[in-house]
Structure 1
């Protein structure tokens, strides 16, 4: 499928900034979860389940205001009738980000022990969510957007690799940049612990997973491999491959037509989370 028309415009110049996400059906507050700063999205009509959400950014950038955090959290709260907690983990080397996500998860489970509870995130946040789920062992569902959970990342199929050769370097994630990310995060690229590479962990016993991927994404094979690993481990897994989009399409609300399908995919998985 051709690259979505949004990216044709986006690559020719910066897009106009969008107003911050707001909706009358969701109230937004900020607090701390045992010392970790979080933003809480609460449906005004009440909630029947909870979600901890972690933004992406290669473990070195990103915040609670980026659409991948703010808009996604608000929309999932609205669409699934869920209390969503977006976690502002430290942008520091391992294990600080994972410790923060795990701390926020433990805090959320302690506050709502009887409700179905899911954990999820995007890109590096998806890696943190999966690692925290492996560590905690009590999640009811996994929502993972274009996660990178392996090193090295497997190669793209030949057709997609050729199609992506014409894209500018600024939207690519070649092996060298992935290596640099892990060197920055873990300090090395050998002997990496399971918490850094949760795709190398024992995955049996994990809850059902929903994996969202973009077609034109150098990191897509990591999510595809994870889906195969989960299936082999007996974990129910649903995967949605969004055609025509680059890595990080959840960061472009209002512009990428496939965003609605992506949010609905996660909202449906969230409504099926177990306690």
Structure 2
């Protein structure tokens, strides 16, 4: 399927936000506002986790708005120290979270013809998508039709790993680099203020999740962050949220950045199938006026 790709700049609460819009030929079957990962301080619209993912989904008939949100200060992963930056170059929470809300609102008012946008992301981008959805719920604004979270980081502290997951993580070249201490340093670098670690819009895990839209969680198998994804899935289920949760066997964190990895292609197919599923894209029918959707 032919796909049109357009770079645009939209109005945001902290200045213009670059977005890249992927529009399939004909009527899009679904729409996704998508945020790449990168530990909150890395990544861009050209990385495979953004561009390749968006193109693959668009070729399957799904319109995508990829968001180039403002990044946190660069972090030394081993020490937790920030690299020197000039004022105005790097931004802490809540900037990126608020920008994802703005991009979702823009997509809902755009001329793409999509009715019912999904909000999603990978890794840190999945965190932003989940937190933005809580903001929308609490503000009484239209919610996304669904939420798509790929190998997400959703908790202030990495939840305890099961024995099965811990054994797999132990096979990684340097498991401490992706352990609980590193995750906490990354999270603190994102928010800056330790008190903000408890903000539900910064880290939704462990907070009130009632009333959220259907959610799809795709976890990487050999990945400490699977503990966060699985725990969040359990919390969603306990809150009565419709949930699909999948573990992609044998892959490490960030496998969507590997376009030639068969598992990445498989994950893309799973994501597209869910985004185009009748239960997700069909409007409610019970003789009642459906709620407003973006």
Q: TM-score, normalising length from structure 2?
A: 0.80
| Structure 2 counterpart of 1:76, from 43, 57, 77 | 57
Q: Can you list the C-alpha shifts for 1:110-154, whole angstroms capped at 9, x where unaligned?
A: 226860210100000000001111112311011100111002111
- Give unpaired runs (5+ residues) of structure 2: 72-90, 138-142, 282-292
Deviations 1:68-121 (A, max 9, x none): 000111111222x22100000000210111111111111111226860210100
Provide the alpha-carbon RMSD of the alignment.
1.8
Q: Does the CA contact (< 8 Å) of 1:25 and 1:45 recur in 2?
A: no
1:58 counterpart residue number? 39
Measure the CA separation in 2 of the matches of 1:230 and 1:29: 35
- Residue 198 of structure 1 aligns to a residue whose secondary structure is coil
Partner SS, residue 111 of structure 1? coil
Q: Using a 3 Å threshold, how does the CA distance of structure 1 residues 145 and 182 change in structure 2: closer, same or farther?
A: same
- Residue 164 of structure 1 deviates from its aligned partner by 2.6
Q: Is 2:129 aligned against 1:148?
A: no
Aligned position for 1:110: 109
C-alpha displacement at 1:261, in angstroms?
2.0
Aligned pair partner of 1:180 in 147, 163, 185: 185
Q: Is the 8 A contact 1:172 1:218 kept in 2?
A: no
Kindly provide the CA deviation profile for residues 177-231 of structure 1, in whole angstroms up to 9, marking residues without a partner as x.
Answer: 1111112111144452111111233211111111001111011110001111111
Q: Secondary structure at the match of 1:106?
A: helix
Structure 2 counterparts to residues 170-209 of structure 1, below 5 A: 172-190=177-195, 192=197, 193-209=199-215
- Could you tell me whether the CA contact under 8 Å between 1:179 and 1:189 is conserved in 2? no
Per the alignment, residue 125 of structure 1 pairs with: 125
C-alpha distance in structure 2 between counterparts of 1:227 and 1:194, whole Å? 16
- Kindly tell me the number of residue pairs found equivalent between the two proteins: 250
> Which residue number corresponds to residue 219 of structure 1?
225
Structure 1 stretches of 5 or more lacking a match? 1-23
Match of residue 87, structure 1, among 49, 64, 67:
67
* TM-score normalised per structure 1: 0.86
